[in-house]
Amino acid sequence: MPRKKIRIVPLTRNFQKYGLPLYSAAWVWYKLLDPDPDPSTSDEVSKSKSKSTQKNYIVLAGGGGEGRSGIPNAVLLVEFDFTAKSLSNLPVSKFVTDPDLPYRMAVHPHGDGVVCSFPKSCRLYVIDEEKSEEIKKLVLNLSDKVLTRLENVGQQLALKFNNEGSALAAGGEDGNLRVIEWPSMEAILDKADAHKSVKDVDFSPDGKYLVSLGNSGPAKVWDVTSKIAIASLSKENDEVFCFCRFSESNDMNQVLYIAAVTGKGGSIVTWDTKTWKRMGSKTVVRDTISAFSVSPDGKLLACGTTQGDIFILNSSSKQVQTIVRKAHLGFVTALSFAHDSRALASISLDSSARVTLFEEEDKTGGLSLWAIVLVLLVAVVVYFMMSQGILSSRLQFLRSF
């Protein structure tokens, strides 16, 4: 079986600036429906037309914060065109949230909207179609739905839906950890002293477990059903845990990654989700990891650094497969893989957003190219020898025996 590696697809229109510091990013998929389908077209034509209207968008959030900096606070919707390999230079839609800064977000996996955290409360934004006679476009609107369990609870530093979209986890600056049933907003778990301050949370792929990180102390694993902490994941030496992500390994077993910072740089710690024991730790970058993400297919890990670089790692070996140097001028604030794992969105405080595309490169392809070149060279040599009579004289000599 040919060995494959990931390479970055060269792009020229995958980088844009949007005029405000960006703190959070997430992909959303939206399908624009044909309002007037042609009844004379076949099902196959209708399907192909429907496919062509599938769009890929990224929700961005950020701003200048409170005060009179002149920099707005807003939630943006931008489009990435995979065919043209380009990121829209202007937002498709922009919802200004002044004077409140949208800091973290969670996109519902089945289209219920985007939950954004603000200094005092969380709000839900929905994506609607704005129709006209000639074109249709998408707009961000503030939902009428009040997120009762997340009203007047202070700044939430982490938000995450489970894969089914049936539960939302929220980690507060005050150390409160909440798991809320969606969309009923009934409390599943409410732990006031989970950490001194909750930095990150993530659900396991099956939704049974939730991992949470604080600004100090060990990480904790919670059983969502029993509502109790079942494991405490301790740090070693000078480790500082920064980000946590569940994934599935190549053998379809669940695995937990924790990105940490040490005196040597940024490292990835891997945990067994059956025993909750540390499986290993590896330093992968020399700089501080400021953003971390795992591809939905579980094959890639992405690390953003305070130097604006992006490192793409093989999840099994933790080997760096490729590096995007100076992807941003400021430090990377968030990373988000597309749903099909073929693209990575990254953002920065310098107001920039970038989309990095990947493709699998067949290493045997290089050998095939060399074989073709070798055959051509041999053909040229044979032709030259025949034109000079060298080859024919040698053949006659051989026949004499």
* Neighbouring residues of 177: CB distance < 8 A, sequence distance ≥ 6: 169, 170, 171, 189, 190, 191, 194, 195, 198, 201, 212, 222
Cβ atoms 14, 354 nearer than 8 A: yes
For residue range 191-208, list pLDDT tens digits in order.
Answer: 999 999 999 999 999 999
On the 0-12 / 13-18 / 19+ scale of CB atoms within 10 A, 288 is middle
How many angstroms separate the Cα of 377 from the Cα of each of 123, 326, 344, 383?
67, 41, 42, 10
User: Which pTM value belongs to this model?
Assistant: 0.84
Looking up tokens 């297919």 gives 297
- Reported as a single tens digit per residue, the pLDDT across 339-382 is 999 999 999 999 999 999 988 765 444 444 555 656 677 666 65
Q: CA–CA distance from 326 to each of 331, 332, 335 (Å)?
A: 9, 10, 15
The model's confidence at residue 323, banded by pLDDT at 50, 70 and 90, is very high
- Give the tens place of pLDDT for each residue, 49-65: 444 456 899 999 999 99
> What average pLDDT does the segment 74-78 reach?
98
- What angle do helix axes 390-399 and 363-387 make, rounded to 10 degrees? 80
